[in-house]
Amino acid sequence: MKRPALFLRLVLLVSTTVLLAAGAQPRASAVEDFTFIQATDIHTPMSQSRDVLGLLAGKGEVDLAAYGIKVPSPSFAIATGDLTEFGGGNGWWEEYLDYWKPSGLKVYHALGNHDNTWHSLLKQLRGIGQGPYYSFDAHGCHFICLMSATIQDPRPSFGEDQIVWLREDLKKVSPETPVFVYFHHPIGGSEFCSPYDWHRVLDELRPYNVALVMTGHSHGTVARVSAGVDEVIGGTTFGANAGLTYVSVQDRVLRVAYRRAEHSSPLEARLEKPIPA
């Protein structure tokens, strides 16, 4: 009689362990104070873009003058597409990477329509350990790169494979972890064949703590609420709006400011909000 009772207890113990493991969610890490750069629409070989990215060389603590505070030195940069004018031909990818070297920053790249329509940079991006879509963790936050730029087609899209990947990637993320998402084309843009294309991306993101979506393409610099999420369109590194976007998290407050090339610090406030715990 003892053996069946012992067997029953073992079965109950194993079943309880399996159920607890199935219901367990990833734990959020503490969010640190940090700063990063968003650069977009660089269009190599634009020489002005080289000069603007060169402004990041040798910089320490940042005077976030738009908010009257000092924030940590940027720890990395995100480039939200149109890295080149016509993709990987004529050595433009290598030239683009050279633009970043004086900064000493780790750079995470997303592809734009200029990078994919003619001579796609996807092979080059995979060659440096990134790809069409990928994610990484930094400072207690989760960062997701998506590819809105269609290969050999100027119209933006998010393929089904990308949506499936996004769904699986988010399963590793605690609902409390701040999530930053970046891709090239702004949310709601008329170039998408259907609003369904970007709506289904947002449907995957909504259950999570999305702090910010970062895009480019328009060469404008603006913060707005798009379909219920905060979005920053990051400007460009050449022309009338030449500059860089600074993104800072300090004491769980997110601040975004734009630095025009002719200024020594980010003077233009774009977004300030607490990040929910």
For residue range 53-78, what is the model confidence (pLDDT) as tens digits?
999 998 789 999 999 999 999 999 99
Answer yes or no: are the C-beta atoms of 243 and 226 closer than 8 Å. Answer: no
User: What secondary structure does DSSP assign to 191-211, as a single string?
Assistant: TSS-HHHHHHHHHHHTTSEEE
Which two tokens mark 86? 């016509």
Residue 189 backbone phi and psi in degrees, to 5: -60, 145
Say whether pLDDT at 82 is over 80: yes
Strand 178-182 and strand 243-250: the pairing is unpaired
For the segment 221-250, the average pLDDT, to the nearest whole number, is 98
Which residues, in sequence order, are CB contacts of 245 under 8 Å at separation 6+?
Answer: 37, 38, 39, 40, 214, 221, 232, 234, 235, 256, 257, 258, 259, 270
Phi, psi of 167 (to 5 degrees): -60, -45
- Between 130-134, 195-199, 232-236, the lowest mean confidence (pLDDT) is in 195-199
Q: Say if residues 53 and 42 touch (Cβ distance below 8 Å).
A: yes
For residues 157 and 164, give the distance between their C-alpha atoms in angstroms, rounded to a whole number: 14
Q: Is 14 a residue whose pLDDT tops 60?
A: no
Categorise residue 235: left if φ over 0, alpha if ψ from -120 to 50, beta otherwise.
left
**What would the pLDDT profile of 187-218 be if each residue is shown by its tens digit?**
999 999 889 999 999 999 999 999 999 999 99
Q: What residue spans define the domains of the chain?
A: 34-274
Tokens 């289904």 belong to residue: 200
Question: CA angle, corner 277, sides to 273 and 180, nearest 5?
Answer: 60
Phi, psi of 182 (to 5 degrees): -145, 140
Indicate the residue type of 273. Answer: K
CATH topology of domain 34-274: Purple Acid Phosphatase; chain A, domain 2 (3.60.21)
9-23, 142-156, 172-186, 201-215: which range is least confident on average?
9-23
Q: Which residue has the higher pLDDT, 89 or 134?
A: 134
